[in-house]
Amino acid sequence: MAGKDFGVRKEDFGARLTLALKALSISGGRLAADAEVDKSLVSRWRSGSVMPSAHNLARLTQIIAARHPGFTMLDWELDMSALAARFGVAAPAPAAPAQRPPSGFAEWLALPKFREAALASGKASSALAGFWRTTRPVPEFPGKFVHDHVIMQTTADGPLSFRIGLFSSRLIGWSMAVGDQMYCCATNQLIGNSIFAIFNYVHRPRIDVLDGVTLACMADAGGVPVGAACLLERVGDLSGDDEADDAQYEALLAEHPIAPDGSIPEHVQRHLFRDTGPAALAAGGDPLIMMPAVTSMARGSSGRGGPIA
């Protein structure tokens, strides 16, 4: 039924699965445990980026039927209103359009190589999806560091949805792995200011730390462009419940973003504060802000234990 004869597109199946889980109060983690699959796979089913195999679809149907007797494979093909009525709940309202970035990213990046990378980035999506925290020097307060909070979630057309917030600012956009780099772009939907970043990428089933360079504008009258080295660290995993994940993201944004004095380890400070220019070049350093792979702090893990050496 999960093959060509199954009458539901993967994007629509994700909405149906999410409705069933909410109606029966099953978390993404509980479903993953019952189906004996990784939580990231459940997230990809729910996002519509992946369709369950025939075996997994049958297993999902069994799990739902155990809590809602009479549920069958044919029920997945009901429209959303009929499926909601099947569970005795109201059909979900359409999502607010500003909640997630639009899905036209592959068209925005018209170059064939980037489109190909976007459509083939499923492994990167599962490796990167989660909650993240940046550490970067803050130009408005010289000598201080700031923590932005980030949520990355899978989308139907390949790239990750990328949301980043600081104080009252909320930016949304996309993140995509291409080769050994991860490219990010996010924009404030109200006033249009944007942030761009390129991080060193590691090819691991689960990524825990990335570092790279960001480009943004200062929060001053002139909006001065500024580049900075940046560390991106995973601080949590997605639950598989979009509403719960959004609430967790907002809770992280409520934390004060300025890092307390002494809270950033010395080796991280040295990694992020970089001397550049002619004097640094003459002393064997870099003429510009750079994040070479040989000194990168980026790392990942197998997904089944600690980091891979």
Residues 119 and 211 both lie in one domain: yes
The verdict on residue 29 lying in a domain is: yes
Domain count for the chain: 2
- What pLDDT was estimated at residue 304? 47
Query: Both 200 and 70 in a single domain?
Result: no
**For residue 6, what pLDDT is reported?**
59
Helix axes 54-67, 28-35, angle to 10 degrees: 120
Same domain? 250 vs 190:
yes
Q: Is residue 308 part of a domain?
A: no
Note whether 59 and 109 are same-domain residues: no
Q: Are residues 157 and 209 in the same domain?
A: yes
**In this structure, is residue 5 part of a structural domain?**
no
Predicted local distance difference test score (pLDDT) of residue 106: 45
Handedness of CA 224, 226, 230, 233 (dihedral sign): positive
Residue 119 shares a structural domain with residue 249 = yes
Same-domain check for residues 131 and 81: no
In a domain, 95, yes or no: no
- Are both 111 and 82 inside the same structural domain? no
Same domain, 176 and 290: yes
Whether 34 and 131 map to the same domain: the answer is no
Q: Which residue has the tokens 């900075």?
A: 228
Looking at 61, 87, 113, the residue that finishes a domain is 87
pLDDT (tens, 9 = 90+) of the chain, 309 residues, equals 444 445 676 668 888 998 999 999 999 889 999 999 888 888 888 877 788 888 999 999 999 999 999 999 999 988 888 999 999 988 776 554 444 444 444 444 444 555 565 555 556 678 889 999 999 998 888 889 999 999 998 876 666 888 998 767 789 988 888 888 998 999 987 777 889 999 999 988 899 999 999 999 887 667 889 999 999 999 999 988 888 888 899 889 888 899 999 999 999 999 998 888 899 899 888 899 999 989 999 999 876 444 433
Q: Which amino acid is at 232?
A: L
Q: Determine contact, residues 18/242, Cβ cutoff 8 Å.
A: yes
Is position 290 within any domain? Answer: yes
Total-model pTM? 0.63
- Sorted by sequence, the CB contacts under 8 Å of residue 236 that are 6+ apart come out as 130, 131, 248
Same domain, 25 and 164: no
Domain that holds residue 20: 10-87
Pull the structure tokens for residue 189.
């939907």
DSSP state of 76: G
Question: Has residue 2 been placed in a domain?
Answer: no
- Per-residue pLDDT tens for 202-259? 988 899 999 999 999 887 667 889 999 999 999 999 988 888 888 899 889 888 899 9
pLDDT confidence of residue 218: 80
Would you state the pLDDT for residue 156?
Answer: 67
Half-sphere exposure of 236 (CA within 13 A, CB side): 15
For residues 219 and 139, give the distance between their C-alpha atoms in angstroms, rounded to a whole number.
9
Query: Is 184 strand, coil or helix?
Result: strand
Question: Could you say which of 53, 87, 121 is where a domain stops?
Answer: 87
Check residue 143 and give left, alpha or beta (phi > 0: left; psi -120 to 50: alpha): left
The verdict on residue 236 lying in a domain is yes
What is the widest separation between alpha-carbon atoms in the chain?
Answer: 75
The answer to whether residue 83 is domain-embedded is yes
Statement to judge: residues 162 and 245 lie in one domain? yes
Q: What is the DSSP letter of 286?
A: B
Here the tokens at position 114 are 């980037």
Q: Which of 87, 118, 133 delimits the end of a domain?
A: 87
Q: Which of 186, 187, 212 is nearest to 198 (CA)?
A: 212
**pLDDT value for 240:** 82
| CA distances to 34, 74, 145, 221 from 159, in Å | 28, 31, 29, 33
CATH number at 63 reads: 1.10.260.40
